[in-house]
Structure 1
C-alpha cells in the first residue's frame, strides 16, 4: 500500500488529471503532473509539474524518481519512452496502454475474449479500403487507428463514391461497418491490486457531432437487459490485462445484444456524474486502486443522475446553471472556449 503523503505521478495535464489530483488531495496524496503543454489545468491544482516532451526519456526518468506510483489521464502517449519508468510503478500497465491506444489491437483483443465489435477491417491502402467496402458494405466509418477522439480522425462513408475522399497517405486506418443501435452506454469499473472489481451504474450516453453530450443513469431498459453480458466482457478484459485502476468500455445496445465500440484505460467523461452521483467517484476509486487502498462503494446517491458536458461557449452559462440547486457545476479553467472544446460539465441529481 502507498501511504498518504506519497506522490502520485500523472501523465497528462488536462481535466481528467485535474479531477484525479483533486481526489488524490482529499485522500492525503500530492500529485506531480507530466505534460508537454505549459498551460496545464491539472498542474494548477497539483504539487509539482514537469513540462517536457513525451519522448524526453531523461525527463521521464527524473519525473519517476519523484513519484511513488504513476498513472495516466490520456492514452495517446508513445509507449517506447515510458520504458524509462520502472513498469512496477505504472498503473495501469503498458500492456493496457498498448492495446487501448490502437483501435485494431483493442478490437482484436476484445474479440479474442468473446466480445463482439462492429464488423471491421484494417486499411493500409486504397485497395484495402475497396475490399473492406465490398465485404462489410456501407454505411461505415473510416477511423485512424491511433490518436482520434471526440470525432476527430474519422470519416463517415455512406457510399463507395464518398470513400474516394478519405486521405489514406501515411495513415494506418480501420474501416468499421455501421451498427444499428438503440442506445449507447459505457461500462466503467475499478479494479484493485488484489483483483477486486467494483462497477458503477452504466450511463446511457448521447453524442452530438462525435462528442459526448449527455450521460444519464439509470440507463434505459434495453441497456439494463444487456448490462450483465457487457460487464462480463469488461471483467474478462480487465483480468486479461492484469489491470489496476479505472477502466472504461463503450458499447452499442442492439437488438442482438451489446456490441463493443472502444475502450479507455482511464477515468472517462461518461463517469463524471459519479463525483456527486455515486458514494465514491471514479476519480477517488482510481486513486484508491493504484495506491492499494480498499475500493469504495459505487452506489447511486440519487434515484436519477444526469451529466451534461459544457462545450465551447456553453460554459459561460455557469451562473444560470447554478440557479437550480440540484445542479453541480464543474468548470475546468480552460482559457479559450473554442468550438467543440470541453470546458466543463454540470451534474444534476434528480430526487423526484
Structure 2
C-alpha cells in the first residue's frame, strides 16, 4: 500500500516540470533500474506536495460549492425561478472548476499519453501559471462575496415571515426556507475554503514566477576601460556645467590638445592633438621589423624617407648592358649597342658607375 501511494505521489509530482529546463519543462527522464521512482517522470518537478494538496483542495471545495449552489438553484426554480445572482454564481463556479481541472490534468495527460504537448509546454511556464491562478482567484472571490452577502443579508433567513414570497407561496415555502438558508450559508463557507486554496496557489505561482525572473535576469552592461578608449576620448569626462561641479573631484582632467607643427613628429600617447600624415605613416612603418635584414629594400620602405638603397643604386647601371656593348664594340655581330643612359636620380650618395662596379 505504501509503495502504491509513493508511486502515485511521483506521478503527480512529475506531471509538471520545472521551468528552468531548456525544453519548457517537458523533458523525460527514464530510470527503469530505480524501484522507488517510476520509469517515466520529469526532471526537477515543480509541482511540489504543497501544490498538489492545494490543487486537490481547490477541486474538492469548488465541486462542493457547485453542488450546494445547485441545490439552492433547484429550490428557487421550484417556487419562483432561479435568481440572477444564483445563476451568475453557478457560472463563475463552473468556470473556475473547469480552469483548475485544465491546469491540473493537462500535464498528467501529456505525461501518460503524450498528448497536448503545446498546451503542456505553455502551462509549464511560471508566467502562464501565475496569470491563470490569478484569474481563478478572481472568479472564486466574486462568487464567494455574492453567496456570502446573499446568505447573511436575506430577511427570509432571519424570519421566514419577512420573506417577500412568503405571503404568495404559503406555509410549504416557509417550512423549506430554513433548509434553503442553511444550504446557502454552507455554500458560502465552502466558497471561502476554496478561495483560501486559490490564494495559496496564487502565492506559490507568484514565488515561482519571481524566482524565474531573478534567474533569467541579465546583469547590467559595464563598458570596459582600456587605453584605446582613453585615446579615442570615449571615457573623457564631461565639462562641468552648473551643479555638475560637485562631481569634478571624481575625474582627472584630460590633457589639453597641443599643436603639432612638425609633420614628422611622433604622436604623444594619450594626447588629443592630431599628428601629421607623414608622422603616422612613419610610425606605422617602423612599428614592424624590416623584411630584409641586409637592407636590400630599404629604399622601398615607407620609413626610408627620400634616400635610395644600395641595391637600387647599383640597379640603375645594368652590368649586362655594359658587357654586351663591349662585346659588340670588340667585333661582335651587328652594330654596337650604346650603353644605357643612367637616369638622373637625386640622392645623398651618387650611384656607382662602370668603373666602380666591383664585379661578381
Alignment TM-score, normalising by the size of structure 1: 0.21
More helix by share: 2
Larger RCO (CA under 8 A, 6+ residues apart): 1
More strand by share: 1
Alignment TM-score, normalising by the size of structure 2: 0.20
